[in-house]
Chains A and B, each alone.
Chain A
Amino acid sequence: MPERDLKQVEAVLSGRPAPDPAAWRRVRAELASRAGAEGLVDVAFERHDSPLGSILIGATHEGLVRIGLPTEDEDEVLAELARRISVRVLGAPRGSVTEARRQLDEYFDGRRTSFALPLDWQLTRGFRRDVLRATAQIPYGRTASYREVATQAGRPAAVRAAGSALATNPLPIVVPCHRVLRTGGAIGSYRGGAEAKARLLDLEHSA
């Protein structure tokens, strides 16, 4: 009996079946929903298309914990969530994220002037958190200076520290750090880029 070449057996075994992207997406979605149902997802996230580009929205069981702007590297945002909150980070459905997506759409359409969402503030602490909470009080269509938010947060002289609190805002748009400008009205910097900041301010002034 002629024996087959070992090399031929190996060649067939080594052949990678072409991955079927649609099937893989379906399998991955099923995993996400089963993991969510079992309570195994500490941080659930989804990507959301917005006029600024693709935004990443992450939530713990407490509420929204992180919004990643299009200028941010998604892998880094997810790695930060893994390092600072839990490694059980998964693209999975979660009610608060769905609700955030709906409210963001309304905001970008000019139909919403404030957000009503559960927030998880754990990525920010101390004075930085105070600055962001003060920032959250600035009404739609209005602006404040860095000095004003520093004052509101209880440390009028800590203008620079207020600036770095805003630069590391984990929840941009929803906590409207884009409404904080330099004294005299210069636009200042923004985690999502100065252009995105100008765009949000335009939206709020024309709506």
Chain B
Amino acid sequence: MQARTGSIATTTRHPLGLPPFARVVEDHGPALLRFCAARVGHERSEDCFQETMLAALRAYRDVHDPSAIRTWLFSIAARKAIDAHRASARLHQPTDDIEAIPVGEDPAVRDEALWDDVRSLPDKQGRAVTLRYRADLTYAEIAQVMETSEPAARRNVFEGLKRLRKDTDHART
């Protein structure tokens, strides 16, 4: 999709202007909701999504570059997910109970278990993996969202995957 390149810092107005916010919700909402679910778990995903979209709507008129909307939205969602984690750090222990999860039978349960593992990765790796696989962002876009370089984004995803591979084995043996 061509409209997904460009940088947030650009100050020139796009000749076509910003799309109506309703369009933004339809185009990016489902992916943002999936991203929130992957980062904070299903029970709190809708809160995370609503906080993200309301923050986006409050600031939407000041967006300068329509082609950067997607990465801008995921930056907000990533921050809201961190807020949600801080708010309930005591409730949501990193998964010590990984061996108790019945993996290998129901694919949905197995997948959910893997996403639990993603949530217990170091923050940068977990975010990068989620942006790559849940939000389908390119490495360049992940770099924008995480305010880092493209090689660093790539490395975070790769390190995250490596660790997940070990965790998965651990859970299955």
Name A residues whose Cβ lies closer than 8 Å to a Cβ of B.
1-6, 9-10, 12-17, 19, 24, 27-28, 30-31, 34-35, 38, 40, 43, 45, 75, 78-79, 81-83, 86-91
Contacts and interface: CB of A to CB of B under 8 A. Distances in A.
A87 B61 contact: yes
A93 B63 CA distance: 25
A89 B168 contact: no
Nearest to A27: B46
Contact of A88 (B21, B33, B34, B132): B21
Interface bracket on B: 35 or more
B61 A9 contact: no
B61 A88 contact: yes
A19 B50 CA distance: 17
Interface of B: 17-23, 25, 29-30, 33-34, 37, 46, 49-50, 53-54, 57-58, 60-61, 110-111, 114, 118, 129, 132-134, 161-162, 164-166, 168-170, 172-173
Contacts of A2: 169
Contacts, number: 103
Contacts of B168: 4, 9
Contacts of A83: 17
A91 B22 contact: yes
A79 B19 contact: yes
A45 B25 CA distance: 14
Contact of A38 (B21, B37, B54): B54
A118 to B, nearest CB: 22
A34 B50 contact: yes
Given A28-B29, A88-B61, A3 B118 contact: no
A168 to B, nearest CB: 19
A31 B55 CA distance: 11
Contacts of B173: 1
A35 B54 contact: yes
Contacts of B169: 1-4
Contacts of A12: 110-111, 114
B165 A30 contact: no
